[in-house]
Homo-oligomer: A and B are copies of this chain.
Amino acid sequence: MIYDFTYENPTRIHFGKSAMSYLAEELKAYGKNVLLVYGKNSIKATGLYDQIMNILHECGKTVFELPGINSNPRYAQVMEGAHMVRENGIDFILAVGGGSVIDCTKGISVSSYYEGDAWQYYWVENGPIVNKTIPFAAVLTMAGTGSEMNATSVITNEEKKLKIGRTFPLWEMSPKFSIMNPELTYTVPIRQMVSGIYDIFSHLMEQYFSGDDDCTTDYLTEGVMLSLINAARKALINPEDYEARSNIMWCATMGLNRILGLSKTQDWEVHKIEHQVGAYTDCPHGIGLAIISPAYYRYIYKYGLPKFIRFAKSVWHVEEKGRSEDEIALEGISRLETFIKELGITQTLRDIGATEEMLPLIAQSTAPGGGYKKMNAEDIMVVLRKSF
């Protein structure tokens, strides 16, 4: 822990089968007009919509609805929500869904009373919060982004072909509370479940693969990696294995509630590349990450060799015997690739709709960054071609 940090986290987590029983009590602290934000029709099919509407009505709330949030939430949807907040004097926003719905909700909260161009000011320029924000909370139905316990919001601007993640000040832009019942994730299609699992694993690696100091945080991260691999394998066999789904859900939250980034330099280049792949192809986030990762890590591992060796040994139990250092590190990346296949993710960038012509556009529009190696557009092109 050699780098200084300040840590706090304002979100209250209610986790488990009884989590929803806390909703009514929590709602008492907030005003009458509630905006319910959710995705497509799945929460209606499962009965969750009715359950939550009943609780809201029993609490005397007037409910307004913004359905149809995309899996890559769009700035136009943020603007639509912001308009609804102003028109209806919304006091509180309840996000019901996965990370996309929560991210969109954060966008609505901060944009509703901002006079200027919220996209430019908040997501592009990282401007400070200058306006009234609307308190919000989440009922989580999908494990992945960790948005339920942080202040990050990833929004896609379709017009500008940009997908940008912004981390806001914690106290304004974290959920006041999050209701996390792992059973609610049972009905998520397997394809989305594995996309979420890989998103979690990628968050862990983005924070882990940087720095050469001995840091307690890295040991914690290895623990979460081991737990996630184990739970993912069980959930693939039986998606209604409560123990496995609950571990996956908590790995997601721990994966991005800032604890696994404390005192760390970090990488995040796989996410930055994927964000632009997503802006061009609208692919599921976790699938995009999984496609890019093996090529990216093979491209950079030499620059952080000791950490990649540690990853191979601690996380994938690669035996040192008879292997050179490079072989140990590369075997770790191969095991990661095997895990991606176990998850059923076998596509290339081409398979998810990227074209040859898009590659330089993606590379050029990706924010430069990186951990062990600083990446420029040329470097990114190599990774994209290998993933194509």
Contacts and interface: CB of A to CB of B under 8 A. Distances in A.
Contact of A254 (B6, B18, B220, B247): B220
A251 B231 CA distance: 25
B8 A15 contact: no
A251 B4 contact: no
Interface string A215-247: 111111111101110110010000000111011
A172 to B, nearest CB: 15
Contacts of A246: 1-2, 263
A19 interface: yes
A241 to B, nearest CB: 10
A1 B15 contact: yes
Main secondary structure of the interface of A (DSSP, over half): helix
Interface string A1-14: 11111111111111
Contacts of A9: 8-9
Contacts of A227: 214, 216, 218-220
How many copies are assembled?
2
A19 B2 contact: no
Contacts of A250: 1, 216-217, 262-263
B216 A254 contact: yes
A243 B213 contact: yes
A226 B219 contact: yes
Given A12-B6, A12-B8, A1 B216 contact: no
Contacts of A15: 1, 4-7, 262-263
Contact of A4 (B17, B220, B222, B234): B17
A247 B3 CA distance: 11
Task: Report, nearest first, the 10 A-B pairs whose CB atoms are least far apart.
Answer: A4-B16, A223-B223, A219-B223, A219-B227, A1-B246, A8-B12, A216-B227, A7-B13, A220-B223, A216-B247
Interface of A: 1-19, 22, 182, 213-224, 226-228, 230-231, 234, 242-244, 246-247, 249-251, 254, 259, 262-263
21 contacts: A1-B182, A6-B14, A7-B12, A8-B12, A16-B263, A213-B243, A214-B231, A215-B243, A215-B247, A216-B227, A216-B228, A216-B250, A217-B250, A218-B227, A219-B227, A220-B223, A220-B254, A222-B223, A223-B223, A246-B263, A259-B259
